[in-house]
Amino acid sequence: MYQLFRPVLFRFAPERVHEATLYLLNLIGRLTPLRTLLSSIFSVSRSPVDAFGLTFANPLGLAAGYDKDGLAWRGLASLGFGHIEIGTITPRPQPGNPRPRIFRLVEDRALINRMGFPGRGADFVAKQLQSSRPNDLIVGANLGINKDTHLDHAVEDYLILMRVLSPLADYLAINVSSPNTLGLRRLQAKEALNALLSTINQERREHEVSLGKSIPVLVKLSPDLSQSELDDALDVILSTEMDGVIATNTTTQREGLKSKFAHETGGLSGEPLSERSTQVVRWIYQRTMGKVPIIGSGGVMRTSDVQAKLDAGAVLVQVYTGLVYNGPGFVKRVFSEIKGY
């Protein structure tokens, strides 16, 4: 049904459709009868996965970027996701980049976004996460920096976010790989990343004592790193005792695109990213000999993409653009088709 309705949706500006979808999912999440109905339609069998000291109901989750402010996560959980990653969240509210800032590349089954971390800030998200949570749902928080934060002070933004969100989220993801905040990707360089993650790890340990619980911390990496840059990042991630990696964020590469929007700046997601992100997952798994749990993200457009990332070494998989192109039944379809589930 969604495939029949999608051409109508795609006549409207992407961000407007997204905002309307979040509003509807927010409403569904707040009304128990609607949430129960949606869950019954899109329910999937429980297929537990243990990772980062947490138990996920199934290996497929929603990537950061879809629900930036934590408005719709309870409604989204009704679509069968095993986890939902909120964000990217910044300490202070900010508008993000000027519109238009999302583009559909329909011929390429892709999106380009240059959102620039728009959002209502950490305190607002914290309030959204204080509400009751569906059974078995894991909620992560993806952390970023404000646009006007100098890179020399980036760690201060991450520490603020940790203090606010550690009591509420099941895991934290350190976003140093978005192409839409000027200079942010420089934090993936070895020395900068080591300084950042060492401080974050120390702060994390202090919070674990005060909260009486473990706080898994993951690092989200770019698909555009060279092999040597990726190796350097992995060395730091291992030495600073991070709990896992999300591979990958969006790409700035544009090879082979057909759409008229191919020239737009921002991060490319969807089918053109699929092979590259899977290669990064495979390299991380081989390079670390499986010591670093991986969430595979990027170009998850069909069941075979989920399987490819699991086969490459991912323990969990995240989708975003695949949900836009396939609709709310995507999770259920994946688990009806994928082997072993």
Residues noted as catalytic: 178
Q: Let me know: does 75 contact 35? Beta carbons within 8 Å.
A: yes
Count the Cβ atoms, other than its own, within 10 Å of residue 229. Answer: 15
105: DSSP letter: E
234: DSSP letter: H
Tokens of 92: 């202070």
> In whole angstroms, what is the distance from residue 167 CA to residue 178 CA?
25
> In whole angstroms, what is the distance from residue 135 CA to residue 232 CA?
38
> In whole angstroms, what is the distance from residue 208 CA to residue 297 CA?
28
Q: Which residues contact 114 (CB under 8 A, 6 or more apart)?
A: 97, 101, 180, 264, 265, 266, 267
Query: 207: closest CA among 174, 176, 240, 169?
Result: 169
3-state secondary structure of 99: coil
Q: Let me know: does 165 contact 122? Beta carbons within 8 Å.
A: yes
> In whole angstroms, what is the distance from residue 200 CA to residue 158 CA?
8
Q: How far is CA 33 from CA 37, 40, 133, in A?
A: 6, 11, 15
The partner residues of 50 in beta bridges, in order of sequence, read 55
Would you tell me the crossing angle of helices 32-42 and 14-30 to the nearest 10 degrees?
Answer: 110
Instruction: Kindly report the backbone phi and psi dihedral angles of residue 221, in degrees, each rounded to the nearest multiple of 5, phi listed first.
Output: -110, 160
3-state secondary structure of 135: coil
